[in-house]
Structure 1
């Protein structure tokens, strides 16, 4: 008996020490990303439903200095598709929907008889990606009309779009697929989509802080504002809604693809409700977590090392583990929801400043839990250089660039990223700053003819014709079939 107690005690001590080590490594990972400006929002990491790390970073409201907290709520963006998928699978379980039935069976006006419910769930329908592709013709005729997801089928009936491929032949991500699935949930349940989610998903899972956004109903005051950098060179975050768009004003509700507002704590409740079969049985969930098989009998490829099931991406690069996930993006926000099904591990990141490295950060959190090597995260030299150049000028930016380029452990320098920054500045008429960026990039890449093309273009725009001619001649000396340089040089010499 004494030996058994000692073994139990030793196991507890080991487990506690291991948890403490994981906490420290996770804290180092996320604090490092925050220091690098790569996270602004809430993170949560859980093992078998027990939270082992959670933290809030940055501001929910920059103008009023309101920090993100445990209670901050975020738009989930396309992570919402996992919830839409769950709703559809519940109705499959109740025999109200069949995965392999044509969608037209439920909506006779739908003009594509070969698209099945499975095609919509797996993004193998061939339908256009977004609402702008569906309503482009109607908006020309009715420019003042506000469209919703209920208008999709009438629009397709009135002006059918050619499918990009035969349903089931390829994978092509489409928000329209999930707008149509929201309509299907409404039809099969005889309930509004938001009411269905509340009754059959949010309430059973205990997700008391989760709901669908509706422009006709005020949001709760714990919803974070969303921020972004309008351009790479812009030094400060701006409210996403203050950055103009050309299409959003023509549309209202497009449920199914996104629009769920939630918290990290509620997403963990959803995660555990799936594990505990409170929402859908194991057999149907297993179907959702399998790679979709195309008409050619091959698995869907949704990116490098990634497949797609029924509402979930499937990570293939860790063959010994079953990892599913979804990420999301909407202007001013990025979300990541990763579930290691083999070990009941969960990582959630909700970021209200659309930080670009969050998926790698979340993957590294899983690696910390597994005690496997992490992917090295490096900051873009070009991105940092652009902000310093815009705010402090060429001399400061140049000296800082030299420091960053030498620090290869923390920074990555990529010539085409610098070239993009220069073109962004040039297109926005910051010609002097563009010249500086192109010149630095050229000096660092003296044998790359494309860098000469860019610098020549900026010199020409600045009115420095003779200098541009010399640069274009050098570009041609490096690459004789350089058409851009030939054409530009011909115009300059004609003048």
Structure 2
């Protein structure tokens, strides 16, 4: 009897622990089941604590046409979560003394034209490189060479572009996919291995990740039986999702490092454990990666773009870090491409992990993942709002102006829906871009009525009218924009053009 009491006490703790875990799992399940039932989630969810799965479930289809359902083994394109693997590879080379974080990239690539940009700045999106500036020069480079750009072309193409950047290295956070392609190429040059081979030998195999791989135009291009096809609305105003198959540009590229890693939720939990137990990186290097990087002025590397509306964050080295520490230190990376939205979130303080993959790019996916982390910590989920601009756009396209306007005004006071000036502005531009000028006009007129103090909306409307050849009306709208903001330089230039 003396031995029985301690055993029963231990069992009692075990039962209580299981009951708590079961209760949290039930809440997470209820949350995602409701999302799936409302066509607001299609994919896989995994929540773990101390390396043990608390909740794991699949929803919807990996292939709608074949009616193949998502399962625990389904392999998802993770989009920008691939950057975490690139960062891990680079930091492994730091641990091995093959590169230095504060060494300029030009040390390793003598032809690289920006001599002050360091490895740390590339990892933390503070290099000053704005990849949008390279679109036209890269297209010209490919036209000149007569082929797609490879990893070996990155530095020569950047050098040939000869761009004077608006940001200095270390001046400001600015998200840049090109930086991570350069980093993946750096791994190749410093190790003599192609990037996918390096990942297999130094990251995936040590972590036990048998269902993770790089997928590009040349690497693993053919779909596996477990691969999740991607589906999305082609435009904001589209009523039906379509399959992004042969037109998926991110499987057409020959470059990588910024995305294109495919994995399962189970494999990503293995990756989380391998990071936590020191199989991949030293504790010192991980601490550096999980800390906010510093700008040149010494301030934290604030992510000025509120990704997914989840809250303020800083950027470390391959990881975002929430500023809100009420649940502990949470590091994360999200991914998004046409037809997929993904989240990999790790609570370093409480040893909790949330992995959410969606192959239909459901709205508010990042908030849904954060809600899973909150439910794991006995907090209520976040409110998930649907885009009212998209609903308005679809109604406008399918049912006409009066029906769309009526629906907009009937729902705009409902807190289940979100509406912003930018959403309507972007919808108007998208209508115009695809030749739906009547719908574009309706959208911008409606937006101006809802946001009468905005000078940007009449200026946007004027630009659309000008491109449609309605210069008289365009001039009126440019004038109206200038009455709201005399300093609107775009409106000034537009008025000059339309008054000629």
Give the structure-1-normalised TM-score: 0.84
1:417 aligns with 2:423: yes
Distance 1:66 1:275 in 2: 34
Deviation of 1:225 after TM superposition, in Å, equals 1.8
Deviation of 1:288 after TM superposition, in Å, equals 0.8
Distance 1:101 1:452 in 2: 48
Aligned to 1:192: 194
1:364 aligns with 2:371: yes
1:138 aligns with 2:116: no
Distance 1:490 1:112 in 2: 38
Q: Is the 8 A contact 1:324 1:341 kept in 2?
A: yes
Deviation of 1:353 after TM superposition, in Å, equals 2.0
Q: Is the 8 A contact 2:431 2:437 kept in 1?
A: yes
Change (3 A) 1:64 1:489: same
3-state DSSP of counterpart to 1:39:
coil
Distance 2:112 2:254 in 1: 20
Aligned to 2:300: 299
3-state DSSP of counterpart to 2:131:
coil
Distance 2:166 2:495 in 1: 40
Aligned to 2:390: 383
Aligned to 2:317: 310
Deviation of 1:426 after TM superposition, in Å, equals 4.8
Aligned to 2:354: 347
Deviation of 1:100 after TM superposition, in Å, equals 2.2
3-state DSSP of counterpart to 2:344:
strand
Aligned to 2:258: 257
Change (3 A) 1:488 1:221: same
Q: Is the 8 A contact 1:134 1:161 kept in 2?
A: no
Alignment match of 1:201 (pick from 200, 203, 207)? 203
Distance 1:239 1:321 in 2: 39
Deviation of 1:172 after TM superposition, in Å, equals 2.1
Change (3 A) 1:4 1:366: same
Change (3 A) 1:394 1:59: farther
Deviation of 1:442 after TM superposition, in Å, equals 7.0
Q: Give per-residue Cα distances to partners, 1:364-394, cap 9 Å, x unaligned.
A: 1111112235432121222223223433445
Aligned to 1:324: 331
1:334 aligns with 2:349: no
Q: Is the 8 A contact 1:79 1:258 kept in 2?
A: yes
Deviation of 1:399 after TM superposition, in Å, equals 5.4
Q: Give per-residue Cα distances to partners, 1:78-113, cap 9 Å, x unaligned.
A: 111111111112222222222222322223333333
Deviation of 1:3 after TM superposition, in Å, equals 5.1
Aligned to 2:275: 274
Distance 1:401 1:58 in 2: 29
Give the structure-2-normalised TM-score: 0.83
3-state DSSP of counterpart to 1:185:
helix
Structure 2 unmatched ranges of 5 or more = 307-311
Q: What is the 5 A alignment of 1:144-183?
A: 144-183=146-185
Aligned to 1:212: 214
Distance 2:454 2:164 in 1: 42
Q: Is the 8 A contact 2:148 2:254 kept in 1?
A: no
Deviation of 1:201 after TM superposition, in Å, equals 0.8
Q: Is the 8 A contact 2:81 2:343 kept in 1?
A: yes
Alignment match of 1:83 (pick from 82, 85, 88)? 85
Deviation of 1:164 after TM superposition, in Å, equals 4.0
Change (3 A) 1:293 1:399: closer
Q: Give per-residue Cα distances to partners, 1:288-347, cap 9 Å, x unaligned.
A: 111112222211111352111111111112256111111122232222111111111111
Q: Which moved more, 1:194-203 or 1:160-169?
A: 160-169
Aligned to 1:98: 100
Q: Give per-residue Cα distances to partners, 1:109-153, cap 9 Å, x unaligned.
A: 3333322222222222222326636624424534x3211121112
Distance 2:453 2:496 in 1: 22
Change (3 A) 1:482 1:32: farther
- The size of the alignment, in residue pairs, is 487
Alignment match of 2:20 (pick from 18, 21, 38)? 18
Structure 1 unmatched ranges of 5 or more = none
Distance 2:81 2:110 in 1: 30
Distance 2:462 2:86 in 1: 51
Q: Give per-residue Cα distances to partners, 1:239-288, cap 9 Å, x unaligned.
A: 2346697xx79x73212111111111111110111111111121111111
